[in-house]
Amino acid sequence: MKSYNLIQRFWHDLVLGNKFINKSLFELEKIIYLKENDLKKQSHIFVTGLPRSGTTSLLNFIYSSDQYASLTYENIPFILSPNFSRLFNKSPVPMKERLHKDGIYFDNNSPEAFDEIFFNNDDLFIKDELSNYISLIIQSKKKKKYLSKNNLNFKRIDLILSILPNSFFLIPIREPLQHSFSLMNQHFNFCKLQKNNDFIRRYMNYLGHNEFGLEHKSWKSPILYNEFKDINYWLEQWFLFYNDIYNKNKLNDKCLFIKYEKLSDVFYIENLLKKLNLVKKDNLDLAFFENKNKEIISLDYDKDLYEKAKLTYENFL
């Protein structure tokens, strides 16, 4: 997005920022491309939770199995019309590092968190159209199962399962202080990027990416800490988020809680693949889960809050 030219920015502003255009293209695409498809029998995967917990690594790892369809960068900006978008986006994009500067690279064929454009509608629209939308995506990729990474889908687990009952939700969790530090640093990073380039701010808003930056939105209402520059704000958000999502979904066998620190363990990954009924490759490529060095954190933080967060972390198997 940082390197988009004026024409590309115009198209993104026009399409991503206009629900009428998006829905009109969606309706037209249904007329031309939609076929009957019994999605309920398939085990689709939805990766969700707080960012900086390994969600993108999980997305890329599972997508590399070549068994799932997902929205990719070639679908931008026509997110609600995945078949049309493939007709327009013919220019290859060279592999480059994403703006997080975290060692994750992408090109046109890389999956990413784009389906919030669809979910940013009322529940009635989602209930009526989710199956149609996913059908269009898997048709465009010639697959049978859908893979999504959307950090906001934790809010609609029950809704999605009511439509696609065989789906799995992968919810990664990371050591709370390391995770909070990473969230805070990315917030600083995107605040700086957005101040220098307002299109980055608009683009992230269109996609519902308010995790960081000038228009950051809290996941939970702050109780003790509401200053974004304070690591205690991010630590409290971590505790409130994971304590809530665990208590709500700990008995749901469709929700798999995953420890970030174990993602480089071959046996841990093999066990995850079995739960997902995913065919194992001969050689598991765990390169997606590299760069997990711990940061040395010298900031003052609320020790009591951290202890409560650690107890929540230990609840996750």
Cα separation, 298 vs 2, in Å, equals 32
The full length of the chain comes to 317
Cα separation, 106 vs 223, in Å, equals 37
Q: Which pLDDT score is estimated for 11? A: 75
- Asked whether residue 8 is domain-assigned, the answer is no
Q: Which pLDDT score is estimated for 85? A: 87
Cα separation, 146 vs 309, in Å, equals 33
- Asked whether residue 69 is domain-assigned, the answer is yes
DSSP β-ladder status, 96-97 and 105-106: antiparallel
- Asked whether residue 24 is domain-assigned, the answer is yes
- Six-digit token pair at 92? 């290859």
Whose CA is closest to 224, among 216, 214, 234?
A: 234
| Start-to-end C-alpha separation, the chain | 38
- Asked whether residue 182 is domain-assigned, the answer is yes
> 71 with 116: CB under 8 angstroms?
no
- Asked whether residue 39 is domain-assigned, the answer is yes
Q: Which pLDDT score is estimated for 281? A: 63
The CATH number that applies at residue 142 is 3.40.50
Cα separation, 257 vs 291, in Å, equals 21
Q: What is the pLDDT along the chain (317 residues), one digit of tens a residue?
A: 556 778 778 778 888 888 899 999 999 999 999 998 889 999 999 999 999 999 999 999 999 999 999 999 999 999 999 999 877 765 667 788 888 988 888 888 999 999 999 999 999 999 999 999 999 999 999 999 999 999 999 999 999 999 999 999 999 999 999 999 999 999 999 999 999 999 999 999 999 999 999 999 999 999 999 999 999 999 999 999 999 999 999 999 999 999 999 998 889 999 999 999 887 666 667 777 876 667 788 899 999 999 999 999 998 86
- Amino acid at the residue 228: F
Cα separation, 190 vs 95, in Å, equals 21
The edge-to-edge listing of strands for the beta sheet with 255-259 is 68-69, 145-149, 45-47, 168-173, 255-259
- Six-digit token pair at 26? 């969606």
Q: Which pLDDT score is estimated for 291? A: 62
- Six-digit token pair at 90? 């013919």
Is 94 in a helix, a strand, or coil?
coil
- Cut 0.75: pTM above it: yes
Cα separation, 216 vs 210, in Å, equals 5
DSSP β-ladder status, 168-173 and 255-259: parallel
The domain total for the chain is: 1
Within 8 A by CB and 6+ apart from 256, the residues are: 168, 169, 170, 171, 272, 275, 276
- Asked whether residue 295 is domain-assigned, the answer is yes
- Asked whether residue 231 is domain-assigned, the answer is yes
Q: Which pLDDT score is estimated for 284? A: 64
> 195 with 214: CB under 8 angstroms?
yes
- Asked whether residue 243 is domain-assigned, the answer is yes
Could you tell me the residue range of the domain that residue 138 belongs to? Answer: 19-315
Quote the radius of gyration of the chain (alpha carbons, Å). Answer: 19
